[in-house]
Structure 1
Amino acid sequence: MQALTILRPGTAALTDKPVPVPGPGEVAIDLAFVGYCGSDLTSYRGLNPLVSYPRVPGHEISGTIAELGSGVENLAPGTAVTVLPYFNCGTCRACRSGRPNACPNNQTMGVQREGAMTGRVVVPAAKVIPVTGISKRDLALVEPCAVGFHAVRRAELKSGETVVVLGCGMIGLGVILGALRQGAKVIAVDLSDAKLDVAKKLGATEIINASTDVKARVAELTGEGPDVVVEAVGAEATFLQAIDLVATAGRVVYIGYAKAPIAYETKFFITKELDIRGSRNALRSDFDDVIDELRNRPEAGDLIVTRTATLDEAAEALADWHARPGDFTKILVKF
C-alpha cells in the first residue's frame, strides 16, 4: 500500500509500505479520512523536536474496522471508528493518576511513531472508538476537537463565565465548541477574518481581529476581564497577551507550544493570583464529549473543513499549507 511520508524537512512523497496484519488484541482499520494536524505541519517544516525522519504523519482518524486480531471482543468488521492515537506507558505518575494524556513517555501516531496517512493501520483494540451518527468525514474532526475540549476541561469553565480564545485554527475552534457546550460566553480572537467568521458561525459571542486593540475591546466587553483565557496559537505574543487579558483571580490555559523561551513579567502571576495551566492531548472522555457534540452539530464540519485532498494530492496539500497557513483551517485526505 502507499503512504504519504515526510522524507525530510520540506519534502513529502508517496512511499510503499507493507499492508499491516493485526496480531492478538489488535484491530486493522481501513482509513476513510485522515486530517493534517499542526504537528504534521511542524514536522514538515523541520521544527518538531519529537520527530525523526522519514515519518508517516496523521493521527486524526476516520475509518472502518477491516479485520480483528485474536482475542478481540465487542468490535466487529464494518464498524465506523475513530482512534485514540496516544500511546502511554501505563506506569508513570501521570498514568497512575488518571492523566495518561500527560504521560512523559507518550508516543503519538504520526509524531513519535508511524501515523495513519495510508490505506490501513493496525492499533490495539483499546484505542478503537466505535461511532454512530457522524459522517465518515467528520469522524476525522473528533481528535483535534477533543484537544480543544480538554483545554476547556483544564480551565474548569462554568456556565455563564467568559472565555477569550486566542487563535481560531482547528484547536481553537475545538475550544470554542467545548466552551459553548459548557454554557460559557466566548470571545474569539484571530488575525484572519475568514477564521473569525467560522468562529462566529459556530456560536462565538464576540469576535475580535487581533490586528486591532484587543485589550481595549476585551475590557469593553467584559469590564474586569475574562474569567479564562485559552491560548491556542503557540506564539510569544499570545502567551504574554493571555496573562495581560485575564481577570484577577482568573485562569489561563496554554495549548500551543511557543517556539522559543518567553520572558514573563512574573509579578502578574502573584498580583492577579492566577491559575496557569497546561493542556496536552485529550482523554477518552473528551473524545466522547466531542462525538456527542458533533452528532448535535452536523453543520460544524462544513464550516471547519477547508480542503479535501486525495492521497495523490496529499503532498501538494501539505506544501500549500506550509506556503499559505492562513488559508486553511482543516485539510483532510480522503482514502
Structure 2
Amino acid sequence: MRAIEITTPGDVRIVEREMPQMGKGDVLLKIKYVGFCGSDLSTYLGKNPMVQYPRIPGHEISAVIEKTGNEVPEGFQKGQNVTVVPYTNCGQCTSCKQKRFNACRYNETLGVQRDGAMAEYIAVPWQKVLKDEALSDVQLALVEPLTVGFHAIDNGKVTDIDTVVVFGCGMIGSGAIVRAKLRGATVIAVDIDDVKLKIAQQLGADFIINSKEKDLHQELLEITNGDGPNVVIEAAGNPVTYRAAIDEVAFAGRVVCIGYAGTEVAFTTKLWVQKELEIMGSRNANPSDFEAVIKYLKSSQVDENILISKTVSPEEAPVAMKEWSEAPGKIMKILVQF
C-alpha cells in the first residue's frame, strides 16, 4: 500500500508498505482523509524529540471500516464511517488511575511515537474507533484537532461569567474559541495574521486583536474594563505569548498552556505569586472532548471548510509540507485525501 513517510528531517516521500497486520480485537480502516498536524511539521523540521525516523505521520483521521477482527463487537460493520482516538493509555500510571487518559505517562500517539495514518490502510483497536454516520468525511478528519482546544477550555474551568483570551488562532486555538463560546464566555482572539483572526470571528470570537498592529495590553484593558481576562489559553507555543499570558491575565486568573515553545521561557515570579495564578498544561484530549466536538460539528451552522487551507493528494503532500514549513503562520489545516 502507499504511505507518506518522513524519512529524515526535510525529506518526505511516497513509499510502499506492507498491509497492516490485524489482531483479533482490531479494525482495519481504509483511510479517506488525514490532516497534517503541527507535530508533523515539527517532525519534518527535525524538531520533534519524540520521533524516530523514518516515520509515517498523521493522527487526524477520517476513514471507513474495511474489515473487523474476530473479537470486535458486532456494532462495528464494514462500510461505516469513523474517526479515531489516536492515543494509547496504559491504565496503570498516575494519570490513568485518575482517568486522565490523555496525559498517560506512556502514551504513544499515532504519527509521533509510532507510525500514523498517512497510508491507504491502518489497523487500530476497536476501542479507539468512533463511529458517526452523521458527519461528513471532511468533518471526521477535523474532530481530533478540535478536541485539543476543547480540552484546554475544560482544564481552564471556563464558564459563562469568564472572559477568555486565546493566543494563537490556528487549529488548536480555533477549538478553544469554539468551546469557550459554547460555554457562554466572552472570547478575545489574538494573533498576528488577519486571515486567522477573521476565521476566529466566524467561529464566534467577540473581539479580535492583531498584536502585531495594536497594543495588546491597552486593548485588553479596554475590553475588560481594566481587569484583564479571567482565563488565558496559550495556543501559539511562543515565548512571547507565554510571558504575555502571565502579564495580561487577571488577578486570581487561570492560564492554560497548550503550545510547545521552541526555546526556554523565563518568567518573573512576582506576578505569578502576586496574582495567585492557576497555571497548568493541557495535553491531547479525553473521550468526553471527542463527544463534545462531534456534537458541535453535527449542530454547527459554521462551514467547517473555513478551517481547511488546502486538500492535496498523497503525491502532492511533500510539496505541501515544504510550502507549509516556509510559511507556517499562513496555514490552518492541510488535508491529504487518499
1:310 equivalent in structure 2: 313
What is the aligned partner in structure 1 of residue 76 from structure 2? 75
CA–CA distance in structure 1, aligned partners of residues 21 and 54 of structure 2: 22
2:13 matched residue in structure 1: 13
Q: For 1:142-153, list aligned pairs within 5 A.
A: 142-153=143-154
Return the offset for 1:221. 0.1
Aligned-partner SS, 2:92: coil
Superimposed CA distance per residue, residues 279-329 of structure 1 (whole angstroms, 9 cap, x where no aligned partner)? 000001000000000111253411101100011111111111101112210
Residues 1:25 and 2:28 are matched in the alignment: no
Taking the TM superposition and a 5 Å limit, the aligned residue runs for 1:1-335 are 1-73=1-73, 74-211=75-212, 212-223=214-225, 224-297=227-300, 299-335=302-338
- Aligned residues, how many? 335
| Structure-2-length-normalised TM-score | 0.98
Q: Secondary structure at the match of 1:129?
A: strand
Describe the SS at the equivalent of 1:260: coil
* Structure 2: 5+ residue stretches without partners: none
- SS of 1:118's partner is coil
- Maintained 8 Å contact 1:22/1:67: no
Distance, in Å, in 2 between the alignment partners of 1:132 and 1:203 is: 26
Structure 2 CA distance, aligned partners of 1:135 and 1:5? 27
Alpha-carbon RMSD across the aligned residues, in angstroms, is 0.8
Describe the superposition over 1:23-80 as per-residue Cα deviations: whole angstroms up to 9, x where unpaired.
2100001111000000000000000000010000000000011100111012111111
- Conserved? CA contact 1:27–1:67, under 8 Å: yes
CA–CA distance in structure 1, aligned partners of residues 72 and 144 of structure 2 = 23
Find the aligned partners of 1:300 and 1:277 in 2 and give their Cα distance. 32
8 A Cα contact 1:294 1:300, kept in partner: no
SS at match of 1:142: helix
Q: 2:232, 2:254 within 8 Å by CA — same for their partners in 1?
A: yes
What 5-or-longer segments of structure 1 have no aligned partner? none
SS where residue 86 of structure 1 aligns?
coil
Mapped to 2, the partners of 1:248 and 1:171 lie a distance apart of 26
CA distance in 1, matches of 2:174, 2:303: 10
Query: Does structure 1 conserve the Cα–Cα contact (< 8 Å) formed by 2:163 and 2:188?
Result: yes
Cα distance in 2 between the residues matched to 1:35 and 1:159: 32
| Distance in 1, Cα, partners of 2:108 & 2:252 | 35
Q: What SS is found at the alignment partner of 2:336?
A: strand
CA contact (8 A) 1:8 1:54 kept: yes
Alpha-carbon offset, residue 209 of structure 1: 0.1
Letter in 2 for 1:244: D
SS in 1 for 2:146: helix
CA distance in 1 between counterparts of 2:182 and 2:33 reads 26
Deviates more, 1:269-278 or 1:299-308: 299-308
| SS of match in other structure, 2:33 | strand
Deviates more, 1:130-139 or 1:293-302: 293-302
SS for the counterpart of 1:141 is helix
